[in-house]
Chain A
Amino acid sequence: MSDEFILECSGLTKEFAGFVAVQDVDLQVRRGTIHALIGPNGAGKTTCFNLLTKFLIPTRGQIRYDGNDITALNPADVARLGLVRSFQISAVFPHLTALENVRIALQRQRGESMDFWRSKSVLNSLNHRAHELLDDVGVGAFAGTVAVEMPYGRKRALEIATTLALDPQIMLLDEPMAGIGHEEIDKIAALIKRISAKHTVLMVEHNLNVVADLSDTITVLTRGRVLTEGNYATVSQDARVKEAYLGSAHA
């Protein structure tokens, strides 16, 4: 059972001062698939990500990853196990170069890096792999550019390269297409498709064309609860889903 699903949660609930943002969510992410989490604004998607990666402490519920209960772990330990997230708002290290951004992630291989007495030139041995990762997501030309000066779409690609540098088992991508142009969307979508050959992907995405194209399974969340789950054909025909999206900007 746990072999089939890499990430599962049951009864996952988060209350903020009485307001229930996520309520009794059961989710099962099948190994090697692209699983989308969709829903109108404020449905609780990001909160779910925060709970699954332990950036927030669940009020109730259990999270299992790779067969183990991770409910009590801290976020850094969760990441070390290979469950790595990105953020809804672009999360790069703005004043480091693209190369340095990826290298920080690769540096995890060295362990804790508490060695303050050693020259950082020891990190040059990671440069080759860093350049490979940058090239792989199509930002090789920006290696020496500080992240803050990169175009937005390229920053999102850099984030993916940084996440990939940890060689995660599962990547949680929070709106990887948010705020980027048409051409870029196709590029990132193709990239995610390619990544999914080696890594399981759970993503939040508002762009339904992308979701339709990429996802094996779609879970629809509204007001903190799971409304329905299935493939795109099933979910998009569901009357309740249409209703939930009615009036929403992304419908």
Chain B
Amino acid sequence: MTSTAGHPDAGLQRRTISDEIAVFIVMAIALVIVPLTGLYPYFVMQALCFALFACAFNLFLGYSGLLSFGHAMFLGTAGYICAHAAKVWGFPPELAILTGTAASAVLGLLAGLVAIRRQGIYFAMITLGLAQLMYFFYLQAKFTHGEDGIQGIPQGFLFGFLDLSKSTTLYYVVVAVFLLAFLLIWRIINSPFGEVLKSIRENEQRAISLGYKVDRYKLMAFVLSATLAGLAGALKVIVAQNASLTDVHWSMSGEVVLMVLLGGLGTVYGPVVGAFLVIAMQQYLAGAGQWVVVIQGVIFVVCVLTFRRGIVGEIAHLFKRSL
């Protein structure tokens, strides 16, 4: 039994991983051929930005067990900074995105230092409070133009030669960034760090008793999550060419919770599915005005009551696979 090769669990792990890789390849191919299908690329780009946001959120909630109710501040901060850098400072898109993302990383570190020692509802409340503070700041700050937002952001040339104002080019750049970020998240989950994170989620006291300083791992996960949420926000601003208060509003923090729960908390693909569904729903119901919120609420309740694992979670459970 001491030999590792041919051990029963080795096979199990391989199967799990090959499932995830297979789904990744299908997803990548599907995204690549979208422009040929006549599906509206702008919709897919938007959905991908939200999918990345949801994946980043899931990285923290799904693997640390802590509910952040302020993730909109990372989406919105990166968005505003990226927009300002591109429009006012004249940064090229790659640098603007990087600057925005870095701003969210720093904000993530500061917010994390304040919040990470709190448990459960206190953590959610502190993150919400900090996000409200940021909302107020962006509402008042000059550079964000308050209710108007930052409009007409130049998309520019990525690396000096990829013209992002061409919709096909922009589309493939967004797909590439999304896929790379997705792989990074997958790697984080499947790293030595990810293993410790899982053990903390499973049994925090036991992890401490083994000598792990759990706050450090949670903080690291929070900063990584904030950074990737920032990347989503910066990318979104380049796609939409405007940055507004919607992205820092508390309802955005709630929406990402909805996406992740709907798709499947703690699953790899759940957030992507959840984001696409929510964004699609908002598109189709755009004419319904305020009713969108009500319908979302109903779906949320039905979802929580009937399939708790979320769509991908239930499928994975049904086939006893990890997705």
Residues of A within 8 A of B (CB): 53, 55, 74-77, 79-80, 84-87, 91-97, 99-100, 103-105, 107-108, 110, 112-120, 122-124, 127-128, 131-132, 134-135, 140-141, 143-145, 162, 166
Contact = CB atoms under 8 A, between A and B. Distances in A.
Nearest to B8: A144
Contacts of A86: 209
Interface of B: 1-4, 7-10, 12, 187-188, 190-196, 198-199, 202-203, 205-214, 216-217, 220, 224
Given A79-B208, A113-B195, A120-B190, 10 more contacts: A76-B212, A77-B211, A87-B209, A99-B7, A114-B193, A115-B191, A119-B191, A122-B192, A131-B7, A162-B206
A96 B207 CA distance: 13
B195 A115 contact: no
A136 B2 CA distance: 10
A80 B211 CA distance: 5
Contacts of B9: 97, 99, 143-145
5 contacts: A76-B213, A94-B202, A108-B211, A131-B3, A162-B206
A165 to B, nearest CB: 8
B212 A120 contact: no
Contacts of B213: 74, 76
Contacts of B198: 93, 96
B192 A113 contact: yes
A140 B191 contact: no
A116 B206 contact: no
Nearest to B217: A114
A162 B199 CA distance: 12
A117 B7 contact: no
Contacts of A132: 2
A87 B8 contact: no
B220 A116 contact: yes
Task: List 8 tightest A-B contacts by C-beta distance, closest first.
Answer: A144-B9, A79-B211, A93-B202, A116-B193, A140-B1, A144-B8, A113-B192, A127-B4
A99 B196 CA distance: 14
B4 A118 contact: no
A84 B203 contact: no
A96 B206 contact: no
B195 A143 contact: no
A116 B188 contact: yes
B202 A120 contact: no
